[in-house]
Amino acid sequence: MIDPLFQPITINRMEVKNRIFMPAMHMNMAGNYAVSDRLVDFYVERARGGAGMITVGYATIDERSGNPGNIGAHKDIYIPGLARLATAIHDNGARSSVQLNHAGRYNHSMLMGGKQPVAPSPIASRLTRETPQELDVAEIEEIISRFARAAGRVKEAGFDAVEILSGTGYLISEFLSPLTNKREDSYGGDFEGRIRFGLAVITAVRTAVGAEFPLLVRMNGNEFMKGGSSRTELQEYAVRLAAAGVDALCINVGWHEAQVPQIVTEVPRGVFGYLARGIKERVSIPVIASHRINDPGLAREMIADGLCDMVAVGRALIADPYFPEKARSGHERDIVHCVACGQGCFDNLFKMKAVECLCNPRAGYERSRAVTRADTVLNVTVVGGGAAGMSAAIAAAERGHRVTLHEAGSHLGGQLLLAGAPPGREEFIELAADLERQVELSGVTVLFNSSVDGQFLKESRPDALVIATGGRPIQPPVPGVELTHVVQAWDVLTESVTTGKRVVVIGGGAVGIETALLLAEKGTLSGEALKFLLVHGAESPEDLYGLATRGSKEVTVIEMLGELGKNFGKSTRWGMMQDVERYGVTTRVTAKVVEITADCVRIESDGRVEEIPADSVVLAVGTCSYNPLQELAAASSIPFRVAGDALQPAMVFDAIHQGFTAGREIC
């Protein structure tokens, strides 16, 4: 049977060996616009992993189009670095391109030495809170020519293609959208005026690179912005782009300030494929689908079903650079899937850090975190089969050590299974399975229902010990906490207990919010039920929305601090807080629980005591480390390392990275 995912495809005159396209993602790895060793190492690994085509960037066309963390294409001095990157990608088997972009009003003045960002109209960005300078016609024409000159540099550097970013709320889409383009000259007004700038950029770039050099455009299939361009307008824009000489279209979704989640875990896999299909049905050039395509089976199905010609696999290649080769060679079970947490690949950018990955501690550190074989093979004992323990065992085994992993329970996964219990968080359960598969492939011996104590350590005397025994939920010193209707959030998440109609969750951190949402969705329509009732017209869309968002429980979250979900990542928190409101969860902040009774929770807020009725009370006040082995190992002079919550309660990201480091450093 022919695998549609691994059929070659031609873009202009360029043949790409398969249908897996790595889209441009800001890595924040350039140094003052220059290509760095770290950036080259990162992309070399993805090329080796089998991607058909890799687009890097975005790259700047002038100093107001981005910041020094972007790849520079706005001066000739950057051509040698670009050439080095192009050669590195080519030499490892992939086609290469550079995405060019101008950030427009999404740029920050602080990243441009105080210069004001520019845009078609002086309309403030909700992302930056800055009002841009309105471009005049002469400035617009100069930006068009800068796109063309930058494209010429990309070609001169030896890349196979160039891509123009015409979406995501950046400059070209700011001209396209009536939300941000209020001009009354030839670059504004009706649809024809608003597309003029984007088409002019394409015409100028095509002239600069010639007819036979592949030219791609990444554009929105839907802006998801109220008052912005409609989906049908964007489809027509795609038709115009194809007529203007574009050779392929990569379809993404949403602006950065859009309220519809785009890349996080709750977004269903491949859900935006319909947007690529809507454009593919109107153009004859290749169309690439994007967003949340993290499994080859899904990618294969989208191509076979005619939704697209190629698939953009971005963050999934950060998580596992060998995703394509594993799929091609029949080893799909060995893929470590992206969980769409956004913690390393997106949240890091807000911290002005380079991209990292929760699932892959080596991402961005391909050279400095390379695992080499140890000179001496040691007997290594890892205690704890959660994220940290599995990560440590895998790394230690890769070093060549003989590794035994002891798990006190009957299965691996630890708190990953808790993280994957709430609705829309199932990817973490898949991650647990992926790590378990990596443990199996690495040759680690796994012992279940195996307790490790001081006597065991004295008798076995491992050469090295990794303590990854995790944490335990905290029970706060509140009167009434011992009552039978008071349960831990962990027990709710594992469905070990049932709860009544009125539920009070004590603790508004990540675990508390996730538990509250799980409870709030009890009794709502499933996706399958919703589709059935909608297709058959059983209820009105408005009623179906209510049935999908209003469950059978009344859920209240109590938080002592003034803010909920503070330990969520930035890219996850805003969507979670929207869901709290959407599903009718009542929240109380700056409130202290003073007592739990048989039928209520008493809280103190603003100096007053209130009673909140409760049939069930759920404790989600945090985790404490569980580490019974450290003192015993030290007393027995056994070299040890501690990772994950056993060291200090933190995020899954920390557990996996700490485990990897602990295993890698055993020598």
Give pLDDT, residue 140: 98
Rounded to 5 degrees, what angle do the CA atoms 254, 257, 263 make? 50
Contact 67, 112 (CB under 8 A): yes
Contact 188, 182 (CB under 8 A): yes
Count CB atoms within 10 A of the CB of residue 272.
24
Pairing of strands 464-467, 640-642: parallel
Question: What distance in Å separates the CA atoms of residue 651 and residue 623, rounded to the nearest whole number?
Answer: 11
Alpha-carbon distance values, 310 to 270, 293, 303, 363 (Å):
13, 11, 7, 24
Q: pLDDT averaged over consecutive 10-residue blocks of the chain (667 residues)?
A: 94 98 96 96 98 98 94 98 98 98 93 90 90 96 98 98 97 97 96 98 98 98 94 97 98 92 90 97 98 97 98 98 97 97 88 93 96 96 98 98 97 95 93 98 97 92 97 96 97 95 96 96 95 96 96 96 86 87 95 96 93 97 96 94 96 97 96
Q: For the packed helices 652-664 and 387-398, what is the interaxial angle rounded to 10 degrees?
A: 30
- Superfamily for domain range 379-472+624-664: NAD(P)-binding Rossmann-like Domain (3.40.50.720)
Pairing of strands 95-101, 71-72: unpaired
Entry pTM: 0.94
Name the token pair of 411. Answer: 């299965």
Question: What distance in Å separates the CA atoms of residue 469 and residue 626, rounded to the nearest whole number?
Answer: 6
Give pLDDT, residue 569: 79
Q: Class of 4-350 per CATH?
A: alpha beta
Give pLDDT, residue 554: 97
Give pLDDT, residue 473: 96
Count CB atoms within 10 A of the CB of residue 308.
28
Strand partners, 472: 624
What are the extents of the domains in the chain? 4-350, 379-472+624-664, 475-621
Give pLDDT, residue 380: 98
Contact 542, 571 (CB under 8 A): no
Residues 475-621, CATH architecture: 3-Layer(bba) Sandwich (3.50)
Give pLDDT, residue 346: 85
Give pLDDT, residue 526: 93
Classify residue 543 as exposed, middle or buried by CB count within 10 Å of its CB (0-12, 13-18, 19+): exposed
Question: What distance in Å separates the CA atoms of residue 32 and residue 511, rounded to the nearest whole number?
Answer: 40
Give pLDDT, residue 104: 96
Q: For the packed helices 196-209 and 231-243, what is the interaxial angle rounded to 10 degrees?
A: 30
Question: What distance in Å separates the CA atoms of residue 204 and residue 197, rounded to the nearest whole number?
Answer: 11
